Amino acid sequence: MRTKIFSVILIFTFFVSHAQQDAQYTQYMYNTINVNPAYAGSRGAMSIFAMHRTQWVGLDGAPVTNVASINTPLNGNNLGIGFSIVNDKIGPTMENTISADISYTIPTSESYKLSFGIKASANIFNLDTSKLNPVSDYPLDPSIQNINNEFSPNIGAGIYLHSDKAYIGFSIPNFIESNRYDDNTVAIFKEKINYYLMAGYVADLTSDIKFKPAILSKLVIGSPLQVDISANFMFVEKFTVGVAYRWSAALSAIVGFQVSDGMYIGYGYDHETTKLNNYNSGSHEIFLRYEIFKNNDKITTPRFF
């Protein structure tokens, strides 16, 4: 009963505040296209990506996120394009976001290139109020009604400076704030602007071992600054192992394997470092990336990011 009551409180808290922030990812370094459109085409290959994330396992109504994307450079010019779908379920809510990205890249030196990107997206939002009342002792406010397929468009942009060894990027995926649930006097479910800053560097420790520290920070006005720090090691261009820390939130373990020249699979596990740890058994994240049509003369980044 205690867990169910806590779940109701938690779900309702997310109902009020979660849309202020985009879905979070532990393996963000492989999922850059969803937060920065300038990343489109930067790997010099058609990159097909799919991810499933189950957060806070064992807690009723906890977030579940599914992602699918594809991005590729366009041969003969400096353009890149991308397309992605994100399905995000949290308690009584479900959001589907469809995005299209286009980037333009210019060389800034022999080693570095600078990419500019624009993202156009469409969000479809649903609220099922029947899922807000799993405990009969807590009746639902009758003023809260179902929402079915509420549509809202958005636009975002980003920049991405990258070489074979390093990258840094800044992006705002959504410039438009959306009121998801508005009773004409106050918006109690509002999607705010998310600001992302990311960076990473690959160091060759030996001929067979690479080391990559990376950081992703996310700022939402009115919410605490979120900072993800990771450190990964790659062995013989095949096996990756690392750890990550989400500031004041979670400690994570990351593993990955290069199955073939084009296929890479990764897994991440989050252990909560907050009191929320008492109510769940952690979060799991798995992804698959497959790349085809590689142009070896134009690949700008190694498999590490």
Comparing C-alpha atoms, which of 152, 129, 143, 175 is closest to residue 11? 129
CA angle 197, 220, 301 (to 5 degrees): 20
The dihedrals phi and psi of 64, each to the nearest 5 degrees, come to -130, 125
Dihedral sign of CA atoms 238, 243, 246, 252 in order: positive
Give me the residues paired with residue 287 across strands.
51, 266
CA angle 175, 56, 100 (to 5 degrees): 30
Per-residue pLDDT of the chain (305 residues; tens, 9 = 90+): 444 444 544 554 544 444 446 788 999 999 999 999 999 999 989 999 999 999 999 988 899 999 999 999 998 789 999 999 999 999 888 999 999 999 999 999 999 999 999 999 999 998 887 777 555 555 555 556 777 888 999 999 999 999 989 999 999 999 988 776 555 555 555 678 899 999 999 999 999 999 999 999 999 887 888 999 999 999 998 999 999 999 988 999 999 999 998 999 999 999 999 888 888 999 999 999 999 977 655 444 455 77
Distance CA 244, CA 255 (A): 11
User: pTM for the whole thing?
Assistant: 0.86
Distance CA 103, CA 117 (A): 4
Give me the residues paired with residue 178 across strands.
191
Residue type at position 188: I
Residue 17: its pLDDT value, please?
44
Comparing C-alpha atoms, which of 271, 277, 259 is closest to residue 26? 271
CB distance 69 to 34 below 8 Å? yes
Comparing C-alpha atoms, which of 126, 130, 117, 56 is closest to residue 97? 126
CB distance 174 to 121 below 8 Å? yes
Residues 6+ apart with CB under 8 A from 235: 208, 209, 241
Residue 60: its pLDDT value, please?
85
Residue 120: its pLDDT value, please?
98
Residue 187: its pLDDT value, please?
52
Q: How many CA atoms lie within 13 A of 231 on its CB side?
A: 3
Residue 8: its pLDDT value, please?
47
Q: How many helices (H) and strands (E) does the chain have?
A: 1, 17
Distance CA 144, CA 140 (A): 8
DSSP state of 15: H
Place of tokens 């993202």: 119
